Chains A and B, each alone.
Chain A
Amino acid sequence: MSTTTPVEMPVHKSQWQGSKKLVNVSRARNFAWLHVTEARLRNMMKWWGSIAAFGLGNPVLYLFSVGIGIGALVDANGGSTQLGGVSYLTFLAPALLTSAAIQAYQDETSFPVMEGFLWDKNFFAMNSTPINARDIVNGVMASAMVRTLVTVAIYEGVLLAFGAITFDVALPMFFSAILAGAAFGAVMMAVTTFVKEDDGFFAIVGRFVIAPMMMFSGTFYPLESMPSYLQWVGWISPLWHGTDLGRTISYGSPQQPWVTMFHWVYLTIWLAAGLAFAYRQVAKRLSA
C-alpha cells in the first residue's frame, strides 16, 4: 500500500467480528497460565544462546576446578572417609546439580518480575487481558521450570561424562534438583514483588542470600563439619535439603528414611508457601 492512498480499516479486508464472537472466554481462562508460559518462553528464546552456553560452561568449569582440582587434594589426604566413603567428585556432584537448578530458577523468577512490574511493566499488559495474577505466577513458574529442566539435563550429561554420577540415579536426582529449585524460585518470586525501585536488588540478593547459601549449605563439605552455630543456615536452605536428598539418591549416604521424607516435605512446603505468597503479592501490586 502506498502512503498516498488512505489506509483502510482492518474490517475492509476481513470482517470485524467483535470480541463477543472472537474470544472464547472459558478457553482463554482455562489456558491462561499456559499463555503466560508461552510468552515467557518466547522471551527466553531471545537468550537461548547464553542460556545454553552458561548451562554447559558452568558445570564444566566447576567440575574441572573444584571437582577434579580440589578433589585430587581431598582424596589424596584420605578425605573420603569423612565423605561417606566416596570420592570428592561424587560427593560434590549432587550439590552442584542442585545449586544449578536453584540458579536457573532464580534467574527466571526474579528477572521476569522486575520486568513485569518495573522495566517493561508487561504484567500490567497481561492483566489487561483475561489473564490474572495467579496465571502470571503459574506461567512464570512453569517457564522457569522448562529452563531449569534444560539446564539440569545438560548438567547431568556433564556429570555422567565425568563419572560423577551413575546412569540409574540420574532421573530421581533430576526430580530432587528441580524440586529444590522450584521451592527457592517460588519464594524468590514473591520476594521480588516487593522491589519498588531497581537499586541494586540483585547485588544484595547475590551477596547476602545466594553466596552465604552456597557457602553454608554443605555444598563443598559436609554440613556436620561446620561449627554447630552455623549449621542452621543449612537447615533452612533449600539448597542443603536438595543436596542432601541428591546425595542419598546418588550414593546412598547413610540416612534415616524419615530424614529423606522430611527433605521432600520441607521443599514442598517452601514451594507451596512461596506460591501462595506470590499469588497474593502479584495480585496486590497489579490492582494498586
Chain B
Amino acid sequence: MIIARGLTKVYGDFTAVDGIDFEVRKGEAFGLLGPNGAGKSTTMKMIASVSKRTGGELTILGLDPNKRGPEIRAHLGVVPQQDNLDRELKVHENLFSYGRFFGLSRKFLKNKVEELLEFAQLTEKRNSKAEELSGGMKRRLTIARGLVNEPEILMLDEPTTGLDPQARHILWDRLFRLKEQGVTLVITTHYMDEAEQLCDRLIVMDKGKIMAEGSPADLIKRYASKEVLEVRFGSSKNQEVAEQISHLGHRTEVLPDRILIYSENGEEDLQAILKMGLEPVTSLVRRSSLEDVFLRLTGRTLVE
C-alpha cells in the first residue's frame, strides 16, 4: 500500500524527515511512534499527498504522490491532528459536504451520513452545529468524516490527544472495528498504550530518523526485559542509591523522579533492595512497555 525509500523532507536548513524506509501492507495497522517533533506529522503529510517530499521515493497505492496527489487522496481517509470541521455547519452537513468533495452522489451520501452518524454515536447530535460539540465528539465526527469515501487507507494523526479516558476507549473500539473491516490504518501517537492497543507493527521515530521497527511485542522483547521494577527514593537520593543497586537486573535507568530496574523478576530484586536496608518511598513492579523501548533507544522519555 505504501512504500517509502530514503524518504526525506527538508524545510530550509531543517531536516524534518531524514531518509526513512518503511512499508505498510494492506490491512495492517501501522504506527509511527515518537515524541513531538520527531517527524511523524511531516511523514503523515507526505503520505497524505499534500506535502511534497524533497528526497527519496514514496509510492502510495502504486502512485507517486508528488504527481498524482488528487488521485491518491481519493482513496485516503485523513484525520488531522487538529480537527478542521466546518464550525458553522451542522454535524450531518459536515459529513455530507465532505463527501461531496469526493464527487459522491447526494443519494449515496444521504444513507452514508446516517450510517456514519451511528458509527460515531452522534445520531442524536446530528442537528447541532459542529462548534457546539465536545472535544471527544468532534474527534469522532472527524474520524467519521474520514470514512465517508470508504478509504483504502485511514490516516490518523494523534487520534486521541486531548481526550478523556472514556472518549479514548470509545475511539479505540471504533478503530479496532475498522481494522477488522480490512481498512489499512496509519497512526501516529506519542502514547505507548495507544500504540500497543492499536498497532500491528510500528516504527519508533526520533529526530527524523527511524530508531527501530517491529510489532509492539517484538520491540519490547528486543529492547526491554520482561519486567520493570520502579523505585523512588526521593529526587535527591535517587542517583546515590542507583549506584548501590546497579548490580541488580540487566540494566538500570535513573530518571529525575525514579529508578528503573530492568529484570526478569522484579519482585526478587525488590526483596534484594530491602535486604540491603534501603527503603524506597514507593515501589512498583510492572510489565515492560513501549515506553521502556523508547527510553532505551533514545535515552529520553516520550512525554516530557
Could you list which residues of chain A lie within 8 angstroms of chain B, going by C-beta atoms?
1, 7-11, 13-14, 16-20, 22-25, 27-29, 31-32, 35-36, 38-39, 42-43, 46, 119-122, 124-132, 286-288
Contact B80 A128 (CB under 8 A): yes
In whole Å, how far is A121's beta carbon from the nearest beta carbon of chain B?
4
Q: How far is the CB of B132 from chain A (nearest CB, A)?
A: 14
Q: B101–A16 contact, CB under 8 A? A: no
Complexed CA–CA distance, A16 and B152 (Å): 11
Neighbour of B151 across the interface among A19, A27, A36, A132, CB < 8 A: A19
Q: Range of interface residues on chain B?
A: 35 or more
Q: How far is the CB of B54 from chain A (nearest CB, A)?
A: 11
Cβ of B118 and Cβ of A39 under 8 Å apart? no
Given contact pairs A14-B111, A130-B71, A130-B74, A120 touches B50 in the complex (Cβ within 8 A):
no
Q: Is the CB of A287 within 8 A of B51?
A: yes
Cross-chain contact A23 with B50 (CB below 8 angstroms) = no
Residues of A within 8 A of B112 (CB): 10
Show 28 residue pairs from A and B whose CB-CB distance is below 8 angstroms, ordered by the A residue.
A1-B123, A7-B119, A8-B118, A9-B119, A9-B180, A9-B181, A10-B118, A10-B119, A11-B181, A14-B111, A16-B181, A20-B152, A22-B102, A22-B150, A23-B74, A24-B103, A27-B103, A28-B70, A39-B97, A43-B89, A120-B84, A121-B84, A125-B145, A128-B50, A128-B78, A130-B71, A130-B73, A132-B69
CB-contacts of B34-77 with A (<8 A): 48, 50-52, 69-71, 73-76
Q: For residue B180, which residues in chain A have a CB less than 8 angstroms away from its CB? A: 9
User: Roughly how many angstroms separate A125 CA and B97 CA in the complex, as a whole number?
Assistant: 11
Instruction: Give per-residue flags for B150-191: 1 if the beta carbon is below 8 A from chain A beta carbons, else 0.
Output: 111000000000000000000000000110110000000000
- List the A side residues contacting B121 at CB < 8 Å: 7
Residues from chain A with Cβ under 8 Å of B149 in the complex = 19, 22-23, 129
- Determine whether the beta carbon of B70 is less than 8 Å from that of A29: yes
Q: Assess the B116–A35 pair: CB atoms within 8 A.
A: no
In the complex, which residues of chain B have a beta carbon less than 8 angstroms from the beta carbon of A126? 101
Contact of A28 among B69, B74, B87, B108 (CB under 8 A): B74
Q: How far is the CA of A78 from the CA of B76 in the complex (A)?
A: 70
- Cross-chain contact B97 with A131 (CB below 8 angstroms): no
Residue interface mask B218-257, A partner, CB < 8 A = 1: 0000000000000000000000000000000000000000
Q: Which residues of chain B are near A13, meaning CB under 8 Å?
A: 115
Residues in chain B near residue A36, CB distance under 8 A: 101
- CB pair A120 B86 closer than 8 Å: yes
Q: Are B70 and A131 in contact (CB under 8 A)?
A: yes
Query: Cβ of B150: which chain A residues have Cβ within 8 Å of it?
Result: 16-19, 22
